[in-house]
Amino acid sequence: MLEIYNLDVNLSYRGSQIKALDNLSFNVYPGEILGLVGESGAGKSMTGLAIIGLIEAPLSISRGKIIFNKQRIEQNANAFRGSKISMIFQDPLVSLNPLRTIGEQLVETIRTHIKFGRKEAIEYAKSLLEEVGIEQERFDAYPHTFSGGMRQRVVIALALAPKPSLVIADEPTTALDVSVQAQILELLKKLCRERETSIILITHDMGVIAETTDRVAVLYSGTLAEIGKTFEVLNYPQHPYTKGLIEATPRIDANSLNSKLYQIPGVMPDLKEIPVGCPFHKRCPRYIKKCVEIKPPLLNERAACWLLDNEKGLL
Amino acid sequence: MSFLLVNQLSRIFDLSEPWILRKIKGQQKKLLKAVDKVNFSIERGQTYALVGESGSGKSTIAMMVAGLIKPSSGFITIDGYNFFSPTIENNIKSSLRKSVQMIFQSPYASLNPRWRVGEVLKEPIKAFNLIESENGQKQRVCELLEQVGLSERDINKFPHEFSGGQRQRICIARSLASEPKLIICDEPTSALDVSVQAQVLNLLKDLQKQFSLTYLFISHDLAVVSTMANRIGVLKQGILVEEASPNKLFEKPEHDYTKMLLSAAPDIKNVSKIP
Amino acid sequence: MKHPFLESDLYYNFKRTPIAVLSFFVFLIIVIMAIFADIIAPHTPFEPLTLNLLNGFTPPMQANEFTGTIFLMGTDDQGRDLFSTILFGLRISLFVGLMAVFLAMVIGVTLGLIAGFVGGVVDTVIMRFADIQITFPSILVAMLIYGVAKGLLPPDLRYEMSITVLIISIGLSEWVPFARTVRGSTLVEKEKEYVISARMLGLSYPQIMVRHILPNILSPVLVIATITFALAIITEATLSFLGVGVPTTKPSLGTLIRIGQDFLFSGEWWILLFPALTLLLLALSINLFGDWLRDMLNPKLK
């Protein structure tokens, strides 16, 4: 449904171009939840912005294309924005106008995208609220009267209003408590099932990835490190970075007290200092000579790692 | 007697409007019980974790243990001394300050952006008059930097030249500078990336062994807590609803709220089965 | 090794903003001309012996009909070279403005820091006082202070102290914006963890305020200082124009404008125009530079 081919996004800094996303290619299929995971600065949010067509200076797309339902997405074109692709942000207050009731905001959003009369729009808005788990009586309430989790539900209703076929959720639960987070993720899963909407879930939390997504793409320094079915990637990681990330994630386990967590040495390099070759090789426990010299492409449609480039195809 | 003893600790915040407005509107005082009769204790060299969601009062407890907020009722003793005891002498208060330090959540706000790392680390040494000579101070700073995995070369850098994880290391070094016995860790890794979080948690474990430190570890993340704590207390709206060892808490949680937290916490173990 | 400032974003952006560069250099040239007025000025307008009344009312760039001398900007009624009087006037205007801003800054920053950090009753008292003061136009406040001070001083000191009194009255009338901004920033900074960790060391309030908070709230202070500087110069000019400022024997730009105003309708336009243009140029360059600085140091854009 959504196809991204060889996407390069550049960041212009003091007249020079720095690669922020490098040769990114992946697909999103109808009705799936794709997780986009990586550490801060890996390019997760930037990928989301590119898909929704919001790449603006100092960022620019220098290569590649994004195809959505057989149509190419142009940056800064209003045609696509919000109609078939919606976005949910980390902070619900950013997306809500504090001076207007949630009902007004919903109706307005609906009527800009769908040709509805006022009455129809109100009916539809109320049904949306019900769908995301908010009582219809709260239709005339202002955003500040809602708790954080409820606000995020309103934002989800707003995102669903134009009946999008793809929703990009950028860290939708990071600002919320665990119990509320679980509810919101459950809601997203339900919507994905019932409406057959695809969701791109951007997060840094491996636990959220494990419990929510169907497939997962792991980003490192603007490069796709690994992509595949969540079950396979988490149980049989092929890229040393994915492997490290999984082992470094603490688990709820009484026995973990006496052992130490696995730690990946070093930190992700700054965009200005991404090394030649594989961007991960300086932190990689198993790098070979080739890793230092040439950047690995995605091999076996799974992981960008030269270690896969042997007869067995496994680490 | 336990190293840290928290007894019937309560803290009430007065959220009411000024007296005159209250009289005009005929309102009662608005009081918020942030912490309500909390009891727990920590043995020397152990880690006690307080788990709870926002508004559970865990940070308020941390501030009271640190001696920055006065309890409304109840008391805290550290090594037998109480910050807020009316008879406490100044030199005991000072040595108490020296032995309790804190690490904070935000690696950005917890370092003064205009101070060089060396100055940051020298401040506690100077404040408690630990080392007199300029040379000795510098040596101590280098030693601290090495203990947290940084190097002497970083001494003249500013905080913005470091990554989040490195800044948190600097904060840890600062808290170690006064040779404390108790370190309060208030969500020390929740602003960090996974791989960096592992580094910081491991460092905290190493330091605990090396200096037989006692930790009061505050977090909302049960997975993080399970790798750190000897005992865990679950807080809900200021009340300690359950307290147990990790074994018991994770295997057989008793309180409904604990059960809910455990089922809601995202865990990488629970990867969904092949569809 | 380059100086770190040359590598900073501030300098990088400065080089690429023509209006910032232009206004900065215009201001710099004006300041240099004022500082070296003794060397640059072709005449010494305040030495009565060197003045020739025959030179009076010479239009700019025209030879005087009696003496044949040419003056760049013409002369006034007493035959003083306008260009030279402007240079010396600038010196006084800049000095008064600078000292007044410095005074306002010291008062405002101190009170703002205390109000923000200590809070409670202290905060209420300081800020309500600021609220009351700001309801009066600052020129009125300055005139009031000026009047009271003049009344209190013994007559023989009045003349000597007039510039000091002017500085104090302008300084006292402009401290409120400093105090308000500093208080706001202090409220934000004092909740940050680095301040909490300083409190855990048992440092005293003044130590925390001066060593930790003050260095972190200086950028907005700098912006206000530039804008207040332009304001102070204008206030000084206004006061002098109204005749309550510096004495006519040591004229500032405002005094020159007042003198020029007398001749505006008798055809000697230059006596008013050139001092007024200088004031305009000075205030404009400072304001434009201040605007740019504000945009740069705005925490939202950082």
Give the tens place of pLDDT for each residue, C277-290: 999 999 999 999 98
A135 touches chain B (CB under 8 A): no
What CA–CA distance (Å, rounded) separates A176 from B266?
13
Tell me which of B14, B96, B99, B112 to substitute to probe the interface with C (most C C-beta atoms closer than 10 Å).
B112
- pLDDT higher than threshold 60 for residue A85: yes
What CA–CA distance (Å, rounded) separates A75 from A67?
12
Contacts 24+ apart (CB under 8 A), A52-60: A52/A80, A52/A81, A52/A85, A52/A87, A52/A168, A53/A77, A53/A80, A53/A81, A54/A81, A55/A9, A57/A12, A58/A11, A58/A12, A58/A13, A59/A9, A59/A10, A59/A11, A59/A12, A59/A20, A60/A9, A60/A10, A60/A12
CB contact under 8 A, C200 and B114: no
E strand or H helix that includes residue A251: none
What CA–CA distance (Å, rounded) separates B212 from B181?
8
Q: Which of A177, A244, A245 minimises the CB distance to B53? A: A177
CA proximity to B43, closest of B210, B213, B206, B180? B213
CB contact under 8 A, C193 and B105: yes
Number of neighbours of residue C158 by Cβ within 10 angstroms: 15
Structure tokens at C88: 């010396």
* Sheet architecture: strand order including A166-170: A85-88, A166-170, A198-203, A33-37, A215-220, A223-229
Q: Which of B224, B265, B272 minimises the CB distance to A231? A: B272
Q: Of A73-87, C26-40, C143-157, give the lowest mean pLDDT range.
A: A73-87
Cα C299 to Cα A57, C199, C217, C220, C288, distances in angstroms: 20, 25, 11, 9, 19
CB contact under 8 A, B54 and A231: no
Nearest CA in chain B to A256: B227
Query: Which one-letter amino acid corresponds to residue A261?
Result: L
**C-beta separation of B8 from B37 below 8 A:** yes
Domain architecture of chain B: domains with CATH: 4-22+29-266 (3.40.50.300)
b/e per residue, C128-140, with b = 16+ CB within 10 A? eebeeeeeeebbe
Residue B130 with chain C: CB contacts under 8 Å:
none
Query: Which one-letter amino acid corresponds to residue A255?
Result: N
**C-beta separation of A202 from A38 below 8 A:** no
Query: Which one-letter amino acid corresponds to residue B248?
Result: K
Number of neighbours of residue A301 by Cβ within 10 angstroms: 8
pLDDT for the residue numbered A80: 55
Q: Which of C192, C203, C215 minimises the CB distance to B114? A: C215
| Sequence-ordered list of residues with C-beta below 8 angstroms from that of B5, at least 6 positions apart, any chain | B41, B76, B77
Give the tens place of pLDDT for each residue, C190-222: 989 999 999 888 888 999 999 999 999 988 899
A246 touches chain B (CB under 8 A): yes
Torsion of CA B218, B219, B222, B223, to 10 degrees: -100
Secondary structure of A213-248 in HEC code, one letter for each residue? CCEEEEEECCEEEEEEEHHHHHHCCCCHHHHHHHHH
pLDDT for the residue numbered A276: 87
Residue C212 with chain B: CB contacts under 8 Å:
112
Block residue for tokens 């890996």: A42
CB contact under 8 A, B197 and A204: no
What φ, ψ does residue C287 adopt, rounded to 5°? -65, -40
pLDDT for the residue numbered C302: 36
Block residue for tokens 């208080």: C183
CA distance A282 to chain B (A): 15
ipTM: 0.85
Give the tens place of pLDDT for each residue, A205-254: 999 999 999 999 999 999 999 999 999 999 999 999 999 999 999 888 87
What CA–CA distance (Å, rounded) separates C299 from C302?
5
C202 touches chain B (CB under 8 A): yes
Query: Which one-letter amino acid corresponds to residue B15?
Result: L
Contacts 24+ apart (CB under 8 A), A68-76: A68/A1, A68/A2, A68/A3, A68/A166, A69/A1, A69/A2, A69/A165, A75/A50
DSSP for chain B, please give it.
Answer: --SEEEEEEEEEEE-PPPHHHHHHHTPPP-EEEEEEEEEEEE-TT-EEEEE--TTSSHHHHHHHHTTSS--SEEEEEETTB-TT-TT--HHHHHHHHHHEEEE-S-TTTTS-TTS-HHHHHHHHHHHTT---SHHHHHHHHHHHHHHTT--GGGGG--GGGS-HHHHHHHHHHHHHTT--SEEEEESTTTTS-HHHHHHHHHHHHHHHHHHT-EEEEEES-HHHHHHH-SEEEEEETTEEEEEE-HHHHHHS--SHHHHHHHHHS--GGGPPPP-
Higher pLDDT, residue C155 or B157: B157
Tally of residues, chain B: 275
Q: Of A40-49, A304-313, C124-133, C150-159, give the lowest mean pLDDT range.
A: A304-313
pLDDT for the residue numbered C301: 42
Interface list for A 211-240 with B (CB within 8 A) = 211-212, 214, 229-231, 234-235
Q: Which of B53, B201, B221 minimises the CB distance to A179? A: B53
Tell me which of C128, C187, C194 to substitute to probe the interface with B (most B C-beta atoms closer than 10 Å).
C194
What CA–CA distance (Å, rounded) separates C202 from C208?
10
Secondary structure of C26-72 in HEC code, one letter for each residue? HHHHHHHHHHCHHHHCCCCCCCHHHCCHHHCCCCCCCECCCCCCECC
Chains in contact with B, where contact requires at least 3 CB pairs less than 8 Å apart: A, C
Q: Which of A40, A207, A251 minimises the CB distance to B193? A: A40
Per-residue pLDDT of chain B (275 residues; tens, 9 = 90+): 789 999 999 999 887 777 777 888 877 778 888 899 999 999 999 999 999 988 888 999 999 999 999 999 999 999 888 888 888 888 888 889 999 999 998 888 899 988 999 999 999 999 998 888 999 999 999 999 999 999 888 899 999 888 888 999 999 999 999 999 999 999 998 888 888 899 999 999 999 999 999 999 999 988 899 999 999 999 999 999 999 999 899 889 999 999 999 988 888 877 765 54
Grouping H, G, I as helix, E, B as strand and the rest as coil, residue A198 is strand
Give the tens place of pLDDT for each residue, C241-261: 887 777 767 788 888 888 888
- pLDDT higher than threshold 60 for residue A159: yes
CB contact under 8 A, B66 and C193: no
CA proximity to C145, closest of C122, C125, C171? C171
A267 touches chain B (CB under 8 A): yes
**What average pLDDT score do residues A9-18 get?**
83
Beta-bridge partners for A33: A199
Chain A and chain B share a number of CB contacts under 8 A equal to 138
**C-beta separation of A28 from A166 below 8 A:** yes
**What DSSP state is assigned to residue C76?**
-
Number of neighbours of residue B199 by Cβ within 10 angstroms: 24
- pLDDT higher than threshold 80 for residue A269: yes
Residue B183 with chain C: CB contacts under 8 Å:
none
CB contact under 8 A, B266 and A182: yes
Domain architecture of chain A: domains with CATH: 2-84+162-252+259-308 (3.40.50.300)
Chain B and chain C share a number of CB contacts under 8 A equal to 47
Residue A206 with chain B: CB contacts under 8 Å:
194, 268
CB contact under 8 A, C201 and B104: no
pLDDT for the residue numbered B275: 47
Q: Which of B261, B262, B273 minimises the CB distance to A231? A: B273
**What average pLDDT score do residues A47-53 get?**
87
b/e per residue, A64-81, with b = 16+ CB within 10 A? bebebeeeebebeeeebb
**What average pLDDT score do residues C174-189 get?**
93
